[in-house]
Amino acid sequence: MPATAYVSTTIPYVNARPHLGHAFEYVQADSISRHLTMTGREVYFLTGSDENSLKNVLAAEKAGMTTQALVDRNVSYFEELLASLGVVTTAFIRTSIDPHHLAGAAEVWRRLDANDDIYAKDYAGLYCVGCEQFYEPSDLVDGKCPEHLVEPELVSERNYFFRLSRYGDQLAEAIESGRLQVHPHTRLNETLSFIRSGLADISISRSATRARGWGIPVPGDPSQVMYVWIDALTNYINTFDWIQDDPGYHRYWADAERRIHVLGKGVLRFHAVYWPAMLLAAKLPLPTDVMVHGYITNAGQKLSKSLGNAVDPEELVAAFGQDAVRYYLLAELSPFGDGDFAEERLVARYNNDLANGIGNLASRLTSMVERYRGGTVPARGEAGDLEVELESRTADAVRDSVAAMDRFDHREALARIGELVRRSNAYVGERAPWHLAKAADAGDEDAARTLDAVLYCGIDVVRRIAILLRPFIPAGSGRLLGAVGEDPAASLDSLTELAGRKVVKAGPIFPRIEL
């Protein structure tokens, strides 16, 4: 059986429509999932919706709806975005209604409680509803939440606490040994620094009264509900019926080659400290990789529903298409740092790299196969120095782009593919098949054989580039493969003889965008 891997995104609050930051995380995780599949793994890919938050309750009250009605409506916006972006997941988990999640969250609580890792105490702290998080005064910027730029409210109540302080040494060992890898290295250092500074126990419940009765009740104490983050973090294993020893849990979590979480830098502590500590306490396997991306900014400010500067990704897809939006996010933006959104850059990236780059290459070559060889790819013939060099460049691009994606660096992977596209277009110009065809028509047999080698080599490179592009622009990749007569599901390891294939001279595979 093939090796297995697990990929997840964070699950967003559904108090409003999704913004471009959600789209970025979705396509990042989708590209990782597709890359792992392309390189021989069987992947379980999970996303979902975080529904048990006070933010959702307050949004429902403002809209004059029940909380359940609001989340039911808003979840559909996120599911529609996934579809419009071409993101294909194995499962979509909803934390307010999924029976495995409700049972699994309660079971994790019971395991922590049985291990004497939970206790109750009175507590007062500064709470940001937008983050659903308590802050220390030293964490604030000018007295305001650093994420939402609002003053947190002082909350005083009796809560349950998790003995996070017990797990500092174990967490540090897991990270330093590489058992739990945090990417990039700067985030690893940040995590270790936070752990080594001394971990304080954390509040893991809220009063049912303040939560308006919305949330998962604390086992044995209906006056409290689980803190939304503690409930939500358990979703990553609750997609499986792990309590009943679900075989899927073993295949895709406990025994998986890699267990990868994709998340934004603002929730690093939750995923690299709090959640792994809970897993250690519950005696469950840790994730293997925590991949941390930055924020998409607009004029230097984080995109946020709360800040009112969100960019609607559905509108972008409607205006420019799935390929353009996915390619821009993955080719232009850093996988690990912040990046500023600019519509002009989206259009420029698409036109330069896709329309004028690989699209032009495929169009030129399929047109020449049709014109000079009746639409059938000729036998390879004897390769010259330029063909040998292009094949070597292709092998390098395959190796380097795959290695970059193994490091979660989608921008670097696409840069290496882009270099191959530019070299391939230059190769066609250097070989000038139109001159070779004229000479062949005049009876030059050497020119005819060279023309065959050029057309074969060029079409072969296009199909390999198309496969390399599959994790990033699956729809465009499929069109490219169809144009050169290749199976849309082909892999680099399963390519068969190209000679005799019929190519398709269709319209532009990546039509230019005109603003």
Which of these, 97, 11, 98, lies nearest to 48 by C-alpha position?
Answer: 11
Dump strand ranges (E) for 129-175.
133-135, 153-162
* Burial per residue of 52-64, b for 16 or more beta-carbon CB atoms within 10 angstroms, e otherwise: bbbbbbebbeeee
CB 512, CB 351: distance < 8 Å? yes
Cα–chain center distance at 473: 13
Alpha-carbon gap, residue 283 to 453, rounded angstroms: 60
CA angle 59, 60, 65 (to 5 degrees): 155
**Spacing of C-alpha 88 from chain mean position:** 11
The SS3 call for residue 119 is: strand
Place of tokens 């596209």: 421
**DSSP string of 261-280?**
EEEEGGGHHIIIIIHHHHHH
Contacts of 376 (CB under 8 A, 6+ apart): 369, 500, 501, 502, 503
Position 425, amino acid: N
Which residues have a catalytic role annotated?
A: 19, 22, 128, 131, 145, 148, 302, 305
Cα–Cα distance for residue pair 290/467, rounded to 1 Å: 27
Cis peptide bond upstream of 12, omega within 30? no
Alpha-carbon distance of 385 to 65, in angstroms, equals 70
Helix, strand, or coil (residue 315):
helix
Tallying the residues shown for the chain, one arrives at: 515
Please give the angle made by the CA atoms of 154, 157 and 159, to the nearest 5 degrees.
Answer: 120
CB-CB contact of 484 with 334 (8 Å): no
